[in-house]
Amino acid sequence: MGPDLELESQTQLLGGLQLFTQFSSNLIYVEGHPGSGKSWLAQRFLNTDKEIQTLSFLMCLLSQTADQQRSVLMGQLLADSFCIGEESLAQNLKTYRQDQECSATLIVDDAELLANDLLHELCELVLVAQGNPLWQINVIMFAKPNFVEAVLGVISPIPEIKSLIISPLTDDEAQVFLEKRVLRNAKKEKERTAVYLAAEKIENWPADLLALADEHHHSSHWVRRILMTLIVLLIAMGSWSWWTSYQSRVSDDKNDVILESSEQSSSLDQTKQIKSISDNVPSADSVISSTGSASENDEKVLPQSVTTETVTVGDEDINQQKRVVIPSNVVDALVDGDNSVGSNQAVATSDVTFESTPNSSAKNITKITLDSKALLSVSEARYTLQLAAFTTQKEVVGFINQFELQDQVRVYRTVRNQKEWFIITYQDFDTIQQTRDAAQELPLNLQKELPWPKSMAQVHQEIKRAK
């Protein structure tokens, strides 16, 4: 919900968590319906409790096994030690912290997705810690209602469970929530009224109230989208109408030119024929003076017979016609605008070259650049995704090159138990849910490395610890 939104019910829940984890080892169960703000409360607790020496956060997923979930928790609790994945949580802590003070809190979000074996180990860990005066270990599980009865009831033995229940926001809290989260960008009174009316019909769960913003956003823009669609269709239809009209006009113009040319050719042919006839017709005097010998010269004085055929291009027999063949190299040269190419010149195909597309894959890096300053500039209210943690820069370089994460991650340095560590983080997000979605969108081989969400407030603390 953000640090700028302080709700009394949420503040009371945070106070209860801090009270339970202050003096002894406990198993704490925070029960809440989907959308009640369990993940937000978990991250808020991580950011506000400054007394805890070691924090471990597990975001449960359906695809995780017990070994994977155990590795995430132990990798954060015992970052300076080499833990064997097959050993239980209690066995690992006994091995590395038996005679040492250990103050830690393990936070499990969506605990109903925990593997049964790991759930048993968490209960065992709390019982062991309660018997060790040097240890103070608390396990906080955020889960859906009835998780205790359905799952923890079949596990024995279990420690005493401290329970907290997340209730819906009060009407006053819901109004504050709407003002600061849903309507902060709404300027029109009509929009605000519509959201308030919709809020009266639902229960005051934070996720449901946030959903009103998306519903209102979509409903307020559907008219605009329809209008835009209609405008595009009208433009398309107008363009098509103009194009067909243009093609029709071009076709008519061509037909007119052909018809005019044909008429001119026909007129010219008729003129030639008439002239030929008139040239061959004798004059009247010539006819009268030659009547005696007319029979002898009939073939000379009679006009030639008039033919109805006209001379047109292409009347020759198709076998007698000749084609003009233009060499392909000349065509290519003309297309290229080279008018100097003659019939005896050729375009050599060996002269054509192709530029190969450069390889777009990122080059392997040889050293890392710390991004502590950039990370400190990110708001503490945001979250990031921790991909891995190593004690040497060489390991960091190898990890980035292996998964091709060049220019996609930010690395910072911190100190844990007097030992230098390098943490690899991936982007930053507004909410824990966005962080969770980003983890599931990573490549499968990178998901196997079990990335986990981390608040920027915690990142800032770790960076400052190294100074």
Any idea which fold 372-465 has?
Alpha-Beta Plaits (3.30.70)
């830690």: which residue's tokens? Answer: 104
Q: Which of 387, 392, 393, 390 shows the shortest CA–CA distance to 446? A: 387
Q: Which residue has the higher pLDDT, 328 or 114?
A: 114
How confident is the model at residue 268, as a pLDDT? 58
Tokens of 150: 């359905």
Answer yes or no: pTM beyond 0.75. no
For residue 48, give Cα distances in angstroms to 18, 63, 288, 459. 9, 30, 137, 13
pLDDT band at 467 (very low <50, low <70, confident <90, very high): confident
How confident is the model at residue 278, as a pLDDT? 52
- Taking 50 as the threshold, does the pLDDT of residue 424 lie above it? yes
Using left for φ > 0, alpha for ψ between -120 and 50, and beta otherwise, residue 337 falls in left
Q: Which of 165, 164, 160, 166 shows the shortest CA–CA distance to 27? A: 160
How confident is the model at residue 16, as a pLDDT? 87
What's the pLDDT tens digit per position in 160-177? 888 889 988 888 888 888
Query: Within 10 A of 168 (CB to CB), how many other CB atoms are there?
Result: 19
In angstroms and rounded to an integer, the radius of gyration of the C-alpha atoms of the chain is 45
pLDDT band at 341 (very low <50, low <70, confident <90, very high): very low
What's the pLDDT tens digit per position in 361-374? 568 999 999 999 99
CB 28 within 8 A of CB 22: no
- Taking 60 as the threshold, does the pLDDT of residue 356 lie above it? no
Q: Which residue has the higher pLDDT, 463 or 150?
A: 463
- Relative to beta strand 410-416, strand 383-390 is unpaired
CB 159 within 8 A of CB 123: yes
Candidate from 144-158, 238-252, 276-290, 402-416 with smallest mean pLDDT: 276-290
Any idea which fold 8-167 has?
Rossmann fold (3.40.50)
For residue 322, give Cα distances in angstroms to 233, 295, 318, 330, 467. 51, 46, 8, 20, 92
Q: Domain map of the chain by residue range?
A: 8-167, 174-237, 372-465
Q: Which of 233, 181, 224 shows the shortest CA–CA distance to 204? A: 181
Q: Which of 139, 134, 154, 209 shows the shortest CA–CA distance to 178? A: 209
pLDDT band at 81 (very low <50, low <70, confident <90, very high): low
How confident is the model at residue 375, as a pLDDT? 96
């060790």: which residue's tokens? Answer: 132
What's the pLDDT tens digit per position in 194-252? 878 887 888 888 888 888 876 555 444 555 666 677 777 777 777 766 666 666 666 65
